[in-house]
Amino acid sequence: MNMRLLTRVALLALLASAAACHVFPMTVAPSTVPLAPGEYTELQPASGSSTGFYVFFVPFSTRSSVDAAIADALKERGGDALINVTADVSMTYLILVNFITTRVYGVAVKVDQGEGG
């Protein structure tokens, strides 16, 4: 009985040691679209994310992209663009399944419709 318990504990330890997570800062940008000062109204801080996953290194969801994360952030705050943008990517490895999450942070802005637009 003790050998069976020891085997299970060893297997659990092996599985736990095979899991890993990494976070990488990706980019910093002044805005998601070209904007001049005075062309927009700041709304609120916004953040968004998107996650994709791989099984046996084959992508089953390619949703993990900066564009999808920006769209998520804008949907949350109702803006037209983001300013003061930063992004990071986190990768979680669970033996045969990998998750990749892209997160974007910034300030949502509404583009003013002036004489030029």
The full set of domain ranges for the chain reads 19-111
116 against 80, higher pLDDT: 80
Residue by residue, what is the 3-state secondary structure of 3-68?
HHHHHHHHHHHHHHHHEEEEEEEEEEEEECCCCCCCCEEEEEEEEEEEEEEEECCEEEECCCCHHH
DSSP state for residue 108 in the 8-state scheme: E
Q: Is the pLDDT of residue 15 over 90?
A: no
pLDDT tens for 58-96 read: 777 766 688 889 999 999 888 899 999 999 988 888 778
Identify the pLDDT of residue 106: 93
Q: What is the mean pLDDT of the chain?
A: 83
Identify the pLDDT of residue 96: 81
Identify the pLDDT of residue 33: 86
Helix (H) or strand (E) holding 104: strand 97-111
